[in-house]
Amino acid sequence: MTRKAYFIGIGGIGMSAIARYYKHYGYEVAGYDKTPSDLTVELQNEGIDIHFDDCVASIPEQFRNKDTLVVYTPAIPDNSIELNYFRDIGNTPLKRSAVLGMIAKDKTVLAVAGTHGKTTTSTLLAYIMSVASEGCTAFLGGVSKNFNNNFVLSKSKWLVAEADEYDRSFLRLYPHIAIVTAADADHLDIYGAEKEMKKAFGDFVSQIDADGALILKKGTNIPLDKLSCKIFSYSYDDREADVYADNIELKQGFFKFDIHTPAGTIDNCTLNLPGWVNIENAVAAVAASMLAGAGNDKIREALSTFAGVKRRFDIRVNTPECVYIDDYAHHPEELKAAITSVRQMFAGRKITGIFQPHLYTRTRDFAAGFAESLGLLDELILMDIYPARELPIEGVTSEIIFEKVRIKNKTLCAGENLMDALANKDIDLLITLGAGDIDRFVEPIIKLLTGK
């Protein structure tokens, strides 16, 4: 059996976690990515050989054979030189989701699916399991501030994983317990229609163990006719749900609340994480952890010490003069949740938002929804579309969102002009939004706002 693993697209958040897994278990690991990032630097510091040109000659010679485990992300185009090299020599490269499924096969899986909310929910679930039980192995879609990593390793039987709906990746997982946070229309480039996407969610939850459980956001409409497991609904504060929050108090931007469950109430919970949507994520994570054996006291402790996830409602500056928040929101519903949370926390402040649309297809399919959500801002700076894996689509630019936004203070701005544009503005509260490379502006923005 080969002890070599090569990753095409190693800098992706999901890919890097799997690369770390194989490195820990003694594999020789290397990989390619399009651009350097903080994450690729971390992987290199951990002893992983990475290069940034799609070139066969750059692949370390010992990996250039049909026995190497080759893993690739769906973000890699079909004309990738390295991907096709391995196929041509008789190797069978595997998608990231297939490899995660292989790793998960011998574990008891706690999976978190949903078109938004899954990264924070899965990271909090992993943290609760680490505090409250024998721990867990976790593959996360963001960098946990508690673990300072997107990968958690344990000898525990439990494995926490994000179950990604893109490319039907989540159908590689067979959970014991699964959370579904939302099933709003998305990835229509893959599914064609919302109905087909919901059908895929139905197929995913049908794979839950018969003696397991589905924890489903109340009001989420997916097919449940194939299920044989128990179903528990959850909500932010709807008392008709099986699990919900109550007695919610907002104090200095953070929350105190009780969580009602079928097994009783966990009172006096504190979540040191801003945004009402994070109470909802916490309710889901708590429900799953309780079913996995976590006790009330440890759950309460984990909630109070959870530090959150980088780029998920991440407050980077908070002074009387200005506030700066960075968030990964890239779907209209995520934008709405982020902006309404800011309004709740910082009532009366002028909110300026910078949004970078992600993907031409998503922009085309949800332009009206993006415009409606962005209209909740006081001022909008709208950047060019981040293409990721896609080629341009004729007629699809940020302007199809821009023209629909019903606020007067709005500006189109290319990335190279962003910092100059910000330097001329009087910022009260600023939020950056998007899943592309908008994060490269975070540190320069902090420096601009604080002078250090």
Q: Could you please report the per-residue DSSP string of 68-137?
A: SEEEE-TTS-TT-HHHHHHHHTT---EEHHHHHHHHHTTSEEEEEE-SSSHHHHHHHHHHHHHHHSS--E
Give residue-wise pLDDT tens across range 364-376: 999 999 999 999 9
268, two tokens = 């006096």
Burial class of residue 302 in the structure, from the number of CB atoms within 10 Å of its CB (0-12 exposed, 13-18 middle, 19+ buried) = buried
Q: Which residues contact 54 (CB under 8 A, 6 or more apart)?
A: 32, 34, 80, 81, 82
40, two tokens = 């690729």
Which of these, 184, 192, 259, lies nearest to 220 by C-alpha position? 184
Give residue-wise pLDDT tens across range 122-148: 999 999 999 987 899 999 999 999 999
pLDDT at residue 187 in the model: 67
Give residue-wise pLDDT tens across range 217-264: 999 999 999 999 999 999 999 999 999 999 999 876 678 999 999 999
Rounded CA gap, 371 and 143, in Å?
29
Confidence class for position 1, pLDDT limits 50, 70, 90? low
Q: Summarize the confidence of residues 88-99 as an average pLDDT.
A: 96
Rounded CA gap, 243 and 264, in Å?
10
Residues in the chain: 452
Name the one residue in this structure whose structure tokens are 């799997």: 18
Cα–Cα distance list, 376 to 273, 332, 348, 409, 432 (Å): 22, 11, 13, 12, 14
Rounded CA gap, 265 and 258, in Å?
7
Rounded CA gap, 422 and 222, in Å?
43
Average pLDDT, the chain: 93
187, two tokens = 């990835």
Q: What is the largest CA-CA distance in the chain?
A: 63
- Give the containing element (helix H, strand E) for 239: none
Confidence class for position 168, pLDDT limits 50, 70, 90? confident
Amino acid at 23: K
pLDDT at 206 over 80: yes
Give residue-wise pLDDT tens across range 318-360: 998 999 999 999 989 889 989 998 998 888 999 999 999 999 9
Count of beta carbons in the 10 Å neighbourhood of residue 1 = 4
Rounded CA gap, 396 and 387, in Å?
11
pLDDT at 191 over 90: no
Rounded CA gap, 183 and 116, in Å?
8
Give residue-wise pLDDT tens across range 27-65: 999 999 998 988 999 999 999 999 999 999 999 999 999
Give this prediction's pTM: 0.86
267, two tokens = 């009172």
Rounded CA gap, 326 and 342, in Å?
11
Burial class of residue 343 in the structure, from the number of CB atoms within 10 Å of its CB (0-12 exposed, 13-18 middle, 19+ buried) = middle
Give residue-wise pLDDT tens across range 178-189: 999 998 767 667
Sign of the Cα torsion 207, 211, 217, 220 reads positive
CB 292 within 8 A of CB 158: yes
pLDDT at residue 428 in the model: 96
- Domains, the chain, in order of start with CATH, read 4-95 (3.40.50.720), 107-305 (3.40.1190.10), 314-450 (3.90.190.20)
Q: Summarize the confidence of residues 15-23 as an average pLDDT.
A: 97
Cα–Cα distance list, 303 to 136, 298, 314, 445 (Å): 17, 9, 17, 30
Q: Are strands 94-95 and 158-163 parallel, antiparallel or unpaired?
A: unpaired
pLDDT at residue 423 in the model: 92
